[in-house]
Amino acid sequence: MSIDGDPRDPVYRPGPAPLRSHLPILGGTLEYVDNPLATMTRRYRDHGPVSELSFLGATWTALLGPDACQIALQNADKAFANGPGWGYLVGPFFDRGLMLLDFAEHHHYRHLMQEAFTRPRLEGYARTLAPLVESGISGWTPDSAFEIYPALKSHTLDLATEVFMGGAEYARPGEIERVNTAFVDCVQAANGYIRSTAPLPFTKWGRATRGRRLLEEFLRRHLPARRANPGEDLFSALCQVADASGGIDDDDIINQMIFLLMAAHDTTTSTVTSMVYELGRDREWQERCRRQCLELGPSPTLAELEGLTDLDLVMKEALRLHPPVPVLARRAVKDTEVLGVKIPAGRLVSVMLLMSHHMPEYWTDPELFDPERFTEGRREDKSHRYAWEPFGGGVHKCLGMIFANLESKLVLSALLRHFEWSVPLDYTPPMKNDSLPFPGDGLPVELRPLSPVRAG
């Protein structure tokens, strides 16, 4: 069967039925893990915006380009569900987290959890985070090959533990390190080939099963203290909401905490790592951002962080080039269609947002790092309503995106005030794509202390 037209043509229309990939069961998986963007680009070129592929032992419908992604994310006919989509990948490990709830239940929990992300609470988080970020970043030791990714990952977990839990004063020796490992194991289970929740040794799902148990025990042990002595942290807020409304029981408080801790430190780590990489290759933008950050000092408020316009442009561009979550999972809960292609009930659906961020139809020189594309005079992100969606879209758009922005800006502003760094222009980090993408070599940068004169 042929598909008429060139998918890059703005008047392109898909054929009447999806074209199935003839790769073997693991072929689609291995191709994606090797290079997600190249895989998506080839698929869009050869099969159009809607096609079938084999991935992790199941048949998926791939949605590519903002037109196809918009239909699934807006979900006007309620044909797509998050829970059974993400559930196939990481359901046992982030079970009943907000991302895995749907329709009325999702609305109920989202409404309750919005209390944790009101502006007064965000202002409080900024006050809490600023000195922690300052002390953590300023203590780094410069190195000609400083591995920025693991350093950031450890730091953002410490920040998330403090802001969301009010600290981990009851943690046992070495437990925070084990918690960090447990989160990594749960996230990396997404692309496990052996998908059994039995704790089989030497398998991703086995490690994630053990990690989930550790996280549950860790949080359950802290819960009574947060209920008895509530603070300004998210854990306390969820306990208070549960007691006041009866809308969340202890098990679901723990479920939401596991999901939010993962989202807070994994996605922020990815965003900041990408910003460090791009600024290390572009000294002009690094200096532009540094000048603004030096004016604020070590304890910027939420309003002052929002005023870091250059850093905001850099963050948006880094999120375009390197979105922390390049693909979203859904499952069709009834027969439906996207751009004229039928999708049967029960079909797993992959909403491949990454490719929309790199399409020349919507972005000028899309592989070029160009933060000014987001300035008011250009606003290339407005070329299509769904051309830029690093936080997802529709009712499932990330609830914590403002918190993620303020944390990312706090960490970058501290880095810019204490250090300068560079990355060779011919260096491309070897990305691991078997979960959320991360640099397999830790992304070494030449980290140098900022001179006292420049630091002010």
Residue 8 in any domain: the answer is no
Q: Tens digit of pLDDT for each residue in 18-60?
A: 444 444 445 578 888 889 999 999 999 999 999 999 988 899 9
pLDDT per residue as tens digits for the range 211-266: 999 999 988 988 888 888 887 777 887 788 777 776 678 998 899 888 887 777 78
Among residues 239, 266, 268, the alpha carbon closest in space to that of 254 is found at: 239
DSSP conformation class of 263: I
> Which pLDDT does position 234 carry in this prediction?
77
2 in any annotated domain:
no
CA–CA separation, 69 vs 117, rounded Å? 27
**Residue 19 included in any domain:** no
Label residue 400 exposed, middle or buried (CB < 10 Å: 0-12, 13-18, 19+): buried
Neighbours of 24 (CB within 10 A): 10
- Name the domain count of the chain: 1
The reply to whether 302 falls in a domain is: yes
CATH number at residue 121: 1.10.630.10
448 forms beta bridges with 420
**Average of per-residue pLDDT values in the chain:** 87
Residue 142: DSSP 8-state = P
Stretch (H or E) spanning 179: helix 175-188
The answer to whether position 6 is within a domain reads no
User: Is residue 303 included in any domain, yes or no?
Assistant: yes
Neighbours of 354 (CB within 10 A): 21
pTM, whole model, 2 decimals? 0.89
Quick check: is 257 in a domain? Answer: yes
Q: Residue 347 has which token pair?
A: 């079909």
Q: How buried is 87 (Cβ within 10 angstroms: 0-12 exposed, 13-18 middle, 19+ buried)?
A: middle
Whether residue 9 is contained in a domain is answered as no
Q: Which domain holds residue 118?
A: 27-455
pLDDT of residue 366: 98
Q: Is 289 marked within a binding site?
A: no
Distance CA 49, CA 22 (A): 17
Q: What is the pLDDT along the chain (456 residues), one digit of tens a residue?
A: 223 333 333 333 333 334 444 444 455 788 888 899 999 999 999 999 999 999 888 999 999 999 999 999 999 999 999 999 999 888 788 889 999 999 999 998 898 888 778 898 889 889 989 999 999 999 999 999 999 999 998 898 888 777 777 766 666 777 777 887 887 788 777 767 777 766 677 788 888 889 999 999 988 988 888 888 887 777 887 788 777 776 678 998 899 888 887 777 788 999 999 999 999 999 999 999 999 999 998 899 999 999 999 999 999 999 999 999 999 999 999 999 999 999 999 999 999 999 999 999 999 999 999 999 999 999 999 999 999 999 999 999 999 899 899 999 999 999 999 999 999 999 999 999 877 899 999 999 999 999 875 666
pLDDT at 77: 96
Residue reference for tokens 């008895």: 228
Residue from 266, 270, 238, 272 nearest 157 by CA: 266
